[in-house]
Amino acid sequence: MVNTVLVTGGAGYIGSHVVKLLGERKERIVVLDNLSTGFAESVLYGELVVGDVGDQALVERILREYEVDSVMHFAAATIVPESIADPVKYYTNNVCASNALLGCCRQAGIKQFVFSSTAAVYGQPAGGIATEDTPENPINPYGRSKLISEWMIGDLCSATDMRSMILRYFNVAGSDPEGRIGQSTIDATLLIKIACEVALGKVDRLQIFGTDYPTPDGTAIRDYIHVNDLATIHLLALDYLREGGASSTLNCGYGHGYSVRQVIAAVERVHGSRLNVVESSRRAGDPPNLIANTDAIRKQLHWHPQLDDLDTIVSTALAWEEKLLAGME
């Protein structure tokens, strides 16, 4: 019998897209989310328990009562600038809570653990392209909090028969192509979301943070991956671990990037309007260029992206913003 999957943070942006795909293939799911940034209505399948990942009594009860044998751990604080302003929040939410969860996993004998990590663990890799064996050198508290969590998971896997898949996300964007869920975070700071909000008049202007980077147009370059393609990776990772695959760390991106100006141009193209753009100084903690080498994930998980197209990413993001706007009216 296949047991239940615990999805922490399953009411959040990325977690809810993974829950959707797990539910579509009829997995048994329990979501644990404190709804601090997530939304109950984003959980399309499974059961939602409202609570904290750091609440060990609660987590122990969930693991036992739902017969959980696999954990997907999304719950975290994820905003780079906020992590610089409030590092304690990041070490509490991301490191301490993950450690509490791992303690419960050890006690319950969890077999498979899939972890949401980040390209921010690399900092600024030489040449702007990161392979999984590029030395980690995070340049902000968010990246450091995730790297510490990676180490904790690795150490527990060495000590027990738990196996893990650490997924290092690059820049996740877009929304469910069927329009049911999307990026709803209040006060989001992500480029594509804000650019869409500006296009729709929800926000009055888009600031470009830095126009003097050593890139072709002077603005920073990122590897934007559609959230649905990223969600699919999690199912492949779970299958891989269930089939006995060894613990691994994999980059999640497309292997090519776009500058801030290219993203703005895509939003203008898809929406058919000009954005109100202001050039500003660099934002603290931002690397100039961050792109994934994706050879490993394509080979190991046989992953084939379905939505590797900037205009597709932008059009799903824009459709979701339109839906949110309609809901507010």
- List contacts with ligand UFG (CB under 6 A): 78, 80, 118-120, 170-171, 189-191, 194, 206-209, 220, 222, 260, 283, 286, 290
The minimum distance between CB 163 and ligand UFG, in angstroms, equals 24
Give 11 or 30: the residue with its C-beta nearer to ligand UFG: 11
Phi and psi at residue 151, in whole multiples of 5°? -65, -45
What residue number has its CB nearest to ligand UFG? 220
The minimum distance between CB 171 and ligand UFG, in angstroms, equals 4
The minimum distance between CB 80 and ligand UFG, in angstroms, equals 4
Q: Which amino acid is at 99?
A: N
Report how far residue 227's alpha carbon sits from residue 192's, in angstroms, rounded to the nearest whole number.
12
Report how far residue 123's alpha carbon sits from residue 144's, in angstroms, rounded to the nearest whole number.
9
Give 30 or 220: the residue with its C-beta nearer to ligand UFG: 220
Neighbours of 106 (CB within 10 A): 13
Give 32 or 230: the residue with its C-beta nearer to ligand UFG: 230
The minimum distance between CB 120 and ligand UFG, in angstroms, equals 3
Give 191 or 227: the residue with its C-beta nearer to ligand UFG: 191
Distances (CA, A) of 94 to 5, 77, 237: 20, 7, 21
Give 180 or 282: the residue with its C-beta nearer to ligand UFG: 282
Q: Which has the closest alpha carbon to 297: 262, 243, 264, 254? A: 254
Is-catalytic flag, 142? yes
Give 191 or 314: the residue with its C-beta nearer to ligand UFG: 191
Asked if 25 and 2 touch (Cβ cutoff 8 Å), the reply is no
The minimum distance between CB 118 and ligand UFG, in angstroms, equals 4
What long-range pairs does 276-281 form, CB within 8 A, spacing at least 24?
A: 276/198, 276/204, 276/205, 276/206, 277/205, 277/206, 277/207, 277/208, 278/205, 278/206, 278/207, 278/208, 279/207, 279/208, 279/211, 280/207, 280/208, 280/209, 280/210, 281/209, 281/210
Q: Residue 292 in 3-state DSSP? A: strand
Q: Which amino acid is at 90?
A: Y
The minimum distance between CB 324 and ligand UFG, in angstroms, equals 18
Asked if 317 and 193 touch (Cβ cutoff 8 Å), the reply is yes
Q: Which has the closest alpha carbon to 101: 72, 130, 65, 141? A: 72
Report how far residue 64's alpha carbon sits from residue 49's, in angstroms, rounded to the nearest whole number.
14
Asked if 210 and 286 touch (Cβ cutoff 8 Å), the reply is yes
Residue of 13, 90, 122, 142 with catalytic role = 142
The residue whose two tokens read 């934007």 is 224
The minimum distance between CB 220 and ligand UFG, in angstroms, equals 3
Give 111 or 222: the residue with its C-beta nearer to ligand UFG: 222
The set of catalytic residues is: 142
